[in-house]
Amino acid sequence: MAPPPGLSDMPLSMPWSNRSPANSSHVTNGLPNNIDASSTEDPAELKRRIAELERARPIEQELWQAQFKQDMKDAHLRAEEVRLSIKKEHLDEQKARVDEHAAVHKKLADA
End-to-end CA distance of the chain: 73
Fill in the amino acid letter for 21: P
| 60-95 pLDDT, tens digit each | 899 999 999 999 999 999 999 999 999 999 999 999
Classify 28 as helix, strand or coil: strand
Residue 108 has pLDDT above 80, yes or no: yes
pLDDT in tens, 45-55: 888 888 888 88
User: If you average pLDDT over every residue of the chain, what do you get?
Assistant: 78
Rounded to an integer, the average pLDDT of 24-39 is 55
| C-beta neighbour count of 50 within 10 angstroms | 16
Contact 66, 72 (CB under 8 A): no
Contact between residue 63 and residue 12 where contact means Cβ atoms under 8 Å apart: yes
Output the pLDDT for position 24.
46
Rounded Cα–Cα distance for residues 103 and 111 (Å): 12
Rg over alpha carbons for the chain, rounded to the nearest Å, is 30
37 or 89: whose pLDDT is higher? Answer: 89
4 within 8 A of 59, measured Cβ to Cβ? yes
- Across the range 11-23, mean pLDDT stands at 49
